[in-house]
Structure 1
Amino acid sequence: MILLDLMLPQESGQEVCQYIRQTTDAPIIMVTALADIQDKIAGLNLGADDYISKPFDLAELEARVRAVLRRGKQSRQPSSLPDEYVFGPWKFVPAKRALYRAPGIRLTLSGAETDLLLVFWQHQQTLLTRSEIIGLIHGNPNALEERTIDLLVSRLRRKLAEGGRQLELIRTVRGDGYIFDPRACTP
């Protein structure tokens, strides 16, 4: 999410917005003193997802940020994806942020863990670098520190462990990244 003021000291906010749109799909809210309807139309036509004029109430800005993020999340998830994914004894339901272990044991996943498992599922048996994973989750490979992915993978591995032992569902390729292989839990 990018909050962009149009009246920047050294560059035009419009030029910055065009550059951002060429390099990322990150949501943009223009926050500016330019309140004329023509300015709003121009900003939205440049690729902004929303436009708010100064002065504004912080509660309104917060609500607009939540709304834009909600819309962005809905548009990033193609409707052709199944509601659940089954591998070995596991059933993964992204909409509920849940991982079910037969018989009926539910593990709650954080939003980041859900996004990571969904990316792994969509790219199974494919080597993904940390920056590729970040890019697939956030639309920008520089949105997070790469070590954040290591921490998420570690947490996900713990949740996917069977009887205290970790399966080879998520394999580390030293120096390169990770490979998700759901076949690892089939006998």
Structure 2
Amino acid sequence: MSPAPSVALRRAVVVDDEEPLANVIAGYLERDGFEVQQVHDGAEAVPLLREIDPDLVVLDLGLPGLDGVEVCQQLRTFSDCYVIMLTARAKEVDTLRGLRVGADDYMTKPFSPRELVARANTLLRRPRRAPAPVIEASPVIVIGSLTVDPESREVRVGTEQILLTRTEFDVLAALARRPKTVLSRRSLIDEVWGPGWVGDEHLVDVHVLHVRKKLGGQAERQRFIRTVRGVGYRIGAGT
């Protein structure tokens, strides 16, 4: 049997000014069934990404012209593709900058190209858009003034619609499906990124922080997602 069309149509763009590294990454992705294009300048990346609408972008933080943060900010105005950010610096501030603008995962150089491909495949197992219901729609989750609709992937606080990235939505939905249950970082990683994901589990903390900021102002950030020190996170009951 021929491979499924969805595999053959997976499109990836590697955006990195280190051409030898970009070639290596592209080679590994191509061997895994991706159709890959490369671009080595941030300003040139944005129109290419808009034109081809990729499923995955491997994006270096330290690009000439527009840096990776600026590219990701512009990308998020027209695309919900998955983004793996690459950084040559392991400092937390670099991680925060990349994830804050909508990257789904990050890797610090040097890294294993095989691990990058594995993480890409883990991300792409998650639906890019809400699947059509097979038998009946998943129920809308209402917790106080917070409404989470898994089918439309919409979130509201009261009547206000909250715009989340796909990863932010998946983290929130995982918690909302189990109100009052404390979920560890590892549990959230297994559900959102997949059990094969390896890396820094504090990635969860960054995405939770961003969700909190979008759900409310400074005084309200803890009232939906609560931290259980030393254990993990839960959706609060007193919303």
Structure 1 length normalisation: TM-score?
Answer: 0.53
**Of Structure 1 and Structure 2, which has the larger fraction of its residues in helix?**
1
Matches of 2:146 and 2:188 in 1, distance apart?
22
Task: Tell me which residue corresponds to 1:4.
Answer: none
- Please say if 1:98 is aligned against 2:154: yes
Aligned residues of 2:146 and 2:158 also touching (Cα < 8 A)? yes
Kindly provide the CA deviation profile for residues 129-157 of structure 1, in whole angstroms up to 9, marking residues without a partner as x. Answer: 10111001122164442111001111111
Report if aligned partners of 1:134, 1:143 keep a CA contact under 8 Å in 2. no
Deviations 1:110-133, CA, capped at 9 Å, x for gaps: 011111011102222112110111
Report what 1:61 is aligned to: 33
User: How far is the alpha carbon of 1:179 from its aligned partner?
Assistant: 1.8
1:156-181: CA deviations, max 9, x gaps?
11122257432432221222211223
Which is further off, 89-98 or 170-179? 89-98
1:106 CA displacement = 1.4
Identity fraction in percent: 22
1:184 aligns to what SS in structure 2?
coil
Q: Are the equivalent residues in 2 in contact too, given 1:93–1:99 (CA < 8 A)? A: yes
Q: What TM-score do the two structures reach when normalised by structure 2?
A: 0.43
**Worse-superposed segment, 118-127 or 160-169:** 160-169
Structure 1 position 171 matched with structure 2 position 171: no
What amino acid is the match of 1:73? R
Deviant stretches of 4+, over 6 Å = 68-71
- Which residue, 97, 104, 116 being the options, matches 2:171? 116
Q: Is the 8 A contact 1:113 1:152 kept in 2?
A: yes
CA contact 2:146–2:155 (8 Å) conserved in 1: yes
User: Helix, strand or coil for the counterpart of 1:135?
Assistant: helix
Cα deviation per residue 1:63-84 (whole Å; 9 max; x = unaligned)? 6995x8898435xx88566253
Tell me, which stretches of 5 or more residues in structure 2 are unaligned?
A: 9-29, 37-53, 56-120
Deviations 1:65-104 (A, max 9, x none): 95x8898435xx885662532222222223444322323x
Specify the alignment match of 2:140 in structure 1. Answer: 84
- Higher relative contact order (CA closer than 8 Å, sequence separation 6+): 1
The question of whether the paired residues in 2 share the 8 Å contact of 1:119 and 1:133 is answered with yes
Which structure's CA Rg is the greater one?
1
Aligned length: 133
Question: What's the counterpart of residue 200 of structure 2?
Answer: 145
2:211 matches 1:156: yes
